Chains A and B, each alone.
Chain A
Amino acid sequence: MSEKKTNRRDFLFTATYAVGAVGVGAAVWPMIDQMNPDASVKALASTEVDISTVDPGKTITVLWRGKPVFIRRRTLDEINEAKSVNLKDLKHPEKDEDRAKNPEWLVMLGVCTHLGCVPLDQKGDYNGWFCPCHGSHYDISGRIRKGPAPTNMEVPKYEFVDANTIKIG
């Protein structure tokens, strides 16, 4: 055997493998991407909710993108409690003002950030929400205070269309 020298055939092999790999990749990608949310799922991206019937101290739950959204009309006491929390005590520090643009209305995904269960209203050690699955406690601003969940409950994009209507998404 002579010493290894790159020749035209090696070049052809390498070029063939390279083009083949690109071709396989191009053929595989549609098979993978078809599993991502389709156009009809994405089309359901926003929901309008009438909040005129919600009394102070009550929460309504609406479905948005297949997920529950909590809309709570908070009482003055609750707002004061949420604002008085020292940020140093929080696992995921967020000011209440940043979570509720209008402090009377807390709008957030009712999905525990641990493994996705729906937390229960007015339960737990912090008078907010409690997740029955693995025991995460949230305060009245939906911030994680105790338990395995890593972050606060997510605040989706929303806006007040008028005084009585919230548009989520």
Chain B
Amino acid sequence: MSEHEYIPKSKVGKWFNDRLPLLTLANHLTDYPTPKNLNYWWTFGGILTFCLITQIVTGLVLAMHYIAHADMAFDSVEHIMRDVNYGWLIRYIHANGASMFFLAVYIHIFRSLFYGSYKSPREIIWIIGIIIYLLMMAAAFMGYVLPWGQMSFWGATVITNLFSAIPLVGEGIVTWLWGGYSVDNPTLTRFFTLHYLIPFLILGLVVLHIWALHVPGNNNPVGIDIKKPSKDTVPFHPYIVIKDGFALLMFMIVFAFFVFYTPNILGHADNYIEADPLVTPAHIVPEWYLLPFYAILRSVPDKLLGVVAMLSAILILAALPWLDTSKIRSAVFRPLYRQFYWILVADVLILGYVGAMPAEGLYLLVARVATAYYFLHFLVVLPILGFKEKTLPVPLSITEPVLGGSPNLAMAKNKESLTNK
């Protein structure tokens, strides 16, 4: 962080800033020195902030029309769709916004995995990010319950029943979560309350996430520590603001495509049937963004161990800064890690695919192999790779390989040929 003292130009500004240094904060945010080689994978932080704000604003107005009651929730959602002015638009933005939020967060997470952004000194940023991700899943799950359709009801039943796998106290916990002996009105009202609360918790954590980021500053595609400010950095405003803004526009095109052209493609038709506690839909699947974890759950034949495996698959990410023993951050200089990275990406995509398929025959076999590999990647490959891998030489600064005249010139050329591929 730049330590120079900021003094507002106007007299009023100075008077105010002496009492509450908001202008100093604003100045820090605009002048914030950012690595000048950030690529478009770095724009998803801004995009995610946009997603969060969109969900909060659309959610707020939906809550003005929605009725959290088992007898009325389903009809109130249809009322929003048919009667409320622009209700269809607001609801479709909110429903597809959840998917867009997860799309962006997955890109954001895999960006960190590729460029080693979770490594020292950014472990706390990373762990706060994992907590945000967990809260996002909780919020998305509870939000999906609110329309009180068949998928809402049975999704809620299946997910809350995961807790019954806990020995001894499991059943008691499930009854407590439900507020009854099955998913019913008390469950719906508390899910609505929590669904309303969680986005604000996320907002608070986002502030911490950014605060923690601004201590060491951004990682960058080269993955080296840089002097700040220096010729390796540019001020956040206007350089990054414009770049983030352009990426956001591109993202909004995708977002708008879903909202206006295929608003229901990411949902399930069964959820337009009102919840019926006597009939389970033939094929229960969670929303696409939870499918990889669902595949892991189903790949284990034991109830308790399945739940443990699913939770571990998420929580293992929090230990990643210590599981990855390599000192080199960016995969650009880690030829072997780069290959394992793409295998992991493929592995997660395969898990997502088999998670949507029935858990039998070949699908089950593939799910088991992919689950085993997922854990193998984090628990075996990454710790060993840090010791065994022969990494490429890392430049001393961002500018150096570009300007040449350094011992790493050959490497700069090598990197060029990589990016030109």
Contacts and interface: CB of A to CB of B under 8 A. Distances in A.
Contacts of A114: 161, 303
A66 B302 contact: no
Interface stretch (A17-25, A73-81, A127-135): A127-135
Interface centre among A37, A38, A116, A131 (most CB of B within 10 A): A116
A117 B183 CA distance: 11
Interface stretch (B119-127, B275-283, B342-350, B365-373): B275-283
A158 to B, nearest CB: 15
Contact of A133 (B181, B277, B278, B284): B284
A87 interface: no
B134 to A, nearest CB: 20
A147 B285 CA distance: 18
A65 B182 contact: yes
Contacts of A135: 358-360
B214 interface: no
Given A35-B179, A65-B182, A117 B278 contact: no
Contacts of A132: 280-284
Contacts of A149: 303
A165 interface: no
Interface residues of B, number: 35
A150 interface: yes
B263 to A, nearest CB: 27
Contact of B278 (A32, A63, A116, A131): A63
A116 B279 contact: no
A133 B280 contact: yes
Contacts of A118: 277-280
A131 B161 CA distance: 15
Contacts of B164: 115-116
A85 B221 CA distance: 65
Given A67-B277, A118-B279, A148-B303, A133 B180 contact: no
Contacts of B376: none
A31 interface: no
A76 to B, nearest CB: 28
A39 B166 CA distance: 26
A38 to B, nearest CB: 7
A41 B306 contact: no
Interface string A116-153: 11100000000000011111000000000000111000
A157 B190 CA distance: 29
A38 B303 contact: no
Nearest to A149: B303
Contacts of B162: 115
A68 B175 CA distance: 16
Contacts of A110: 278
A94 B280 CA distance: 27
Contacts of A164: none
A95 B167 CA distance: 24
Nearest to A33: B176
Nearest to A64: B181
A40 B282 CA distance: 32
Looking at B184, B280, B360, which has the most chain A CB atoms within 10 Å of its CB?
B280
B301 interface: yes
A14 interface: no
B356 to A, nearest CB: 14
B157 A66 contact: no
A6 interface: no
B278 A134 contact: no
B218 to A, nearest CB: 41
B190 A35 contact: yes
B148 interface: no
Contact of B176 (A36, A65, A115, A148): A36
Interface in A8-64: 32, 35-38, 41, 61, 63
A42 to B, nearest CB: 9
B76 to A, nearest CB: 21
Most chain B CB within 10 A, of A32, A38, A114, is at A114
Contacts of A150: 302-303
Interface in B273-305: 277-284, 298, 301-303
Contacts of A148: 298, 301-303, 306
A133 B293 CA distance: 16
Contacts of B182: 65-67
B46 interface: no
Given A35-B190, A132-B281, 15 more contacts: A35-B177, A37-B178, A63-B277, A63-B278, A66-B182, A66-B184, A67-B181, A114-B161, A117-B158, A132-B282, A132-B284, A133-B158, A134-B298, A135-B358, A148-B302
List the 7 shortest-distance A-B pairs measured between CB atoms, nearest first.
A66-B182, A65-B181, A116-B161, A115-B161, A117-B280, A115-B158, A118-B280
8 contacts: A36-B175, A36-B176, A67-B277, A110-B278, A115-B158, A116-B161, A132-B281, A148-B306
